[in-house]
Homo-oligomer: A and B are copies of this chain.
Amino acid sequence: MPPTSGDEIETLIATMARLPGLGPRSARRIVLHLIRRRAGQMAQLAALMASVAEHARECLVCGNITQSDICPICEDPGRATGEICVVTDVADLWALERGRAFHGRYHVLGGSLSALDEIGPEDLRIPQLIARIAEEKVTEVILALSATVEGQTTAHYIAEALAPTGVAVTGLAQGVPIGGELDYLDDGTITAALRARRQF
């Protein structure tokens, strides 16, 4: 790393280089870019980052990242109260919001069940989900979890835990992704899409 340009600049590059998707080369490039704009963009970015670091927290209802106690989605009276979409992570919530297809509310688990990593239901906001079903007038819980072993284990656990409440539990459809070429799809996806085939 640059051994001659002041300790803080070196430390900044080393810190940036540890961010996901970045490395020493891209961190150096970004830091030089910012230093050239140090009075404007860099000072603004630093202030913004400090403010988000101070104010960002989890929505008390759904676990979304927000800057108030209750996130804008949970507070929005225009969103259907009867549907809760369960996601693993805030990144998944953002992805669903970009799709603009879901108009209910969310519940962020914060991870997947894992015996190996000793992550149990209490670590995942599952008790809070069960409490919401009782408190809010929920008619459908959509499990938008990853189609991985951990995701599907978590989905089955939640479906069983919710069975006594009588709420409808659904999952995302599995099949060929839009724009997907059959030739490049794995066997599991093709088999799932064939089994779940529908009237044309």
> Chain A: residues with CB nearer than 8 A to chain B?
1-9, 11-12, 15-16, 19-22, 26, 28-35, 38-39, 41-56, 64-68, 71-73, 89-91, 93-94, 97-98
Contacts and interface: CB of A to CB of B under 8 A. Distances in A.
A64 B5 contact: yes
A121 to B, nearest CB: 21
A67 B30 contact: no
Given A50-B46, A97-B4, A30 B19 contact: yes
- List the 6 shortest-distance A-B pairs measured between CB atoms, nearest first: A46-B50, A6-B67, A46-B49, A42-B53, A2-B94, A43-B53
Contacts of A56: 6, 9, 35, 38
B67 A8 contact: yes
A169 B75 CA distance: 70
B49 A97 contact: no
Among A6, A73, A93, max chain B CB count under 10 A is at: A6
B49 A12 contact: yes
Contacts of A33: 19-20
Contacts of A2: 93-94, 97-98
6 contacts: A4-B64, A6-B55, A32-B91, A38-B52, A38-B56, A42-B53
A43 B54 contact: yes
